[in-house]
Amino acid sequence: MVQRMKDYAVTLHLPERRPGKPMSRFSIKAAVTVSGFLLCAGLCFGEVTWTGGVKLRPSGFASMFVGDIVRGGVNKKTQEPMNNVWIKQIIAGLSVDAALSDRNFLDIGLEMQIYNDFPISLVLQPQYRYLYFYPYLSSAQFTHLFGNVEKPLVTLHAGYFPFKYNRDVRNLGEYLFRTGTYPQYLLNSVDFPLARVMGIHAAFSGKSLIHGEEASLSIAEQILTNLSVDALLYFNLQWYAVGDGNLAIMLSDRMAGFFEFGLGITFNSIISSDDKLTTPHDPATLYHIAYNETTGESDSSFYTFKGAKLMGRWAFDFKKLLPCSRFGSEDLRLYAEAAILGLRDYPRNLNGGISYDHLLERVPVTLGFAIPAFGFLDVLNIEVEYFKCPYPNDIGAITQKGLPIPGQITETGTTRYRELKTFQEDRWKWSLHAVKKIGGSYTAMAQIASDHLRPLAVNDQNIDFEEALHTPGQWYFMLKFTAGF
């Protein structure tokens, strides 16, 4: 079930922007629009009922990030190590939830980020060292409830909305929507362990089928009560095969009150808006040529963005078995998530040395544990990830040329990789995450991690499409302070 993620205030990725003036005309117009939106929503602070019975409930936040890449990898563009790179960022947003009736709802949200790109290289000219203002739509969704409004059988969401299926994940994981199939890449953003999608989401809840107290239900009825099924038809918005439709189906359940599990599958590009973009015919993606003696023609096969992903997850809540009442709601939860990124094997390509023929090299696994904080912290969480993929987590070929291969490529179609032996140490990622809520309006977050953090570069002189941390010994820390209503 999707819901407003008010504790998370970061977009997943920034679209590529070119050097220019500090604020373009578009940015100025967008800033004015956001300001007007904030002003209008401010007039209805709290919940207000308008003529016709429409209820408006605004919410907003402002977050400040301050952190440092203590030790990072070498930026491929500048050839400089990203050590002691300070990161500073401001994000502010406002949304309005409108209850049009007891079954129909509308949610619209706007956000803006203010940041410097990093790393700031010594080779950059002074005119490129300025502050960026990035406004964007964070949510625009319509919701309709089917069945009992108190316990709806199906909840339908349509539009652009945040989606999270694993409640335990704080940094690593959420593989169905933050990964690729061909190539296999992994993404994450600081304090935003979810994705935003555009499409239609139908959520089924078994609670609407069972009546009565849970303690009096049979085992079969308890399983059905806790069963939830989510189906999403969503569309690609950026990077590759723009406009293609994807289908995701997930189910989850809770057994005996302390064990939860979930399964999911996604079909990427199940609807292709342009076959030339979904399966690009390029020398770098060619892996097979067969000559037909009858027709005298050659049949060529190419890598494609089409593919399926499988996901499985479980969580064990130990505090449900202990009599102590001092544990917080998130304490003592042990959980894991794994996925297969691409169910089909592909042989080595003919020009570049890539192959997708080992399934275990396409399986990321995350194990996490919520350390007991006994109310001193709301969340104290540690996560470890293992991923055996032999290629760099580089999306350069995807973003620059729209090709389903990892890394950057040369003009002849061959790849530019660091030596593969360096990736023997690049299989492990880790994260330590802590959250403390102060009153009802303030939140402090701290994170120390070696994860998939990527540079926020917006010009060609220092842009690097690979993650900033290449080994487990390279890490950063980040502090975030949020005020909201």
Residues 176, 178, 180, 186, Cα dihedral to 10°: -120
Residue 228 β-bridge partners: 205, 252
User: Does 79 reside within a domain?
Assistant: yes
Fill in the DSSP letter of residue 15: P
Asked if residues 246 and 266 have their Cβ atoms less than 8 Å apart, the reply is yes
Rg (CA), the chain: 24
Q: Name residues of the chain where pLDDT drops below 70.
A: 1-52, 119-129, 210-219, 291-296, 352, 408-425, 457-462
- What are the angstrom distances between the C-alpha of 265 and each of 187, 247, 343, 404? 18, 8, 11, 20
Fill in the DSSP letter of residue 242: T
User: Does 227 reside within a domain?
Assistant: yes
Q: In sequence order, what DSSP letters do the residues of 313-357 get, joined into one string?
A: EEEEEGGGGS--S---TTTTEEEEEEEEE-SS-B---TTT---B-
What stretches of 119-174 adopt beta strand conformation (E)? 132-147, 152-163
Asked if residues 334 and 369 have their Cβ atoms less than 8 Å apart, the reply is yes
Give the Cα separation of 250 and 216 in Å (integer).
Answer: 28
Give the Cα separation of 191 and 249 in Å (integer).
Answer: 25
Q: What's residue 397's pLDDT?
A: 87
User: Does 440 reside within a domain?
Assistant: yes
User: Does 8 reside within a domain?
Assistant: no
Q: What's residue 23's pLDDT?
A: 45
Structural domain span for residue 266: 25-484
User: Does 2 reside within a domain?
Assistant: no
Over the stretch 79-91, which tens digit does the pLDDT of each residue have?
788 888 888 999 9
Contacts of 20 (CB under 8 A, 6+ apart): none
Q: What's residue 298's pLDDT?
A: 72
Fill in the DSSP letter of residue 217: S
Give the Cα separation of 382 and 387 in Å (integer).
Answer: 17
User: Does 15 reside within a domain?
Assistant: no
Over the stretch 365-423, which tens digit does the pLDDT of each residue have?
999 999 998 889 999 999 999 999 988 888 888 988 899 998 766 655 555 554 444 45
Counting every residue written for the chain, the total comes to: 485
Q: 422 in helix, strand or coil? A: helix
Domain count of the fold of the chain: 1
Give the Cα separation of 230 and 252 in Å (integer).
Answer: 9
User: Does 5 reside within a domain?
Assistant: no
User: Does 3 reside within a domain?
Assistant: no
Planar angle of CA 300, 306, 311, nearest 5 degrees = 140
- How many helices (H) and strands (E) the chain has is answered by 4, 23
**What CATH number is associated with residue 306?**
2.40.160.10
